[in-house]
Amino acid sequence: MQTTMPVAQPQTYLTTDELSSRIKYDSRTIRERLKDSVLLEGRHYIRPFGGRKTLYIWENVENDMARYSQSGSLGIPLANGGALHG
Domain assignment present for residue 47? The answer is yes
Domain assignment present for residue 51? The answer is yes
Domain assignment present for residue 60? The answer is yes
What's the pLDDT tens digit per position in 6-32?
A: 777 789 999 999 999 999 999 999 999
Domain assignment present for residue 63? The answer is yes
Regarding pTM above 0.85, the answer is no
Domain assignment present for residue 61? The answer is yes
Q: What's the rounded Cα separation, in Å, for the pair 32 and 47? A: 16
Domain assignment present for residue 44? The answer is yes
First CA to last CA across the chain, in angstroms? 49
Taking each helix axis as running N to C, give the angle between helix 58-71 and helix 16-23, from 0 to 180 degrees, rounded to the nearest 10: 30
For the residues 49-76, what does the mean pLDDT come to? Answer: 85
User: Cβ(30)–Cβ(67) under 8 Å?
Assistant: no
Q: In the 8-state DSSP scheme, what is residue 41? A: B
Domain assignment present for residue 31? The answer is yes
The residue segments making up the domain with residue 33 are: 13-69
Number of Cβ within 10 Å of residue 30's Cβ equals: 21
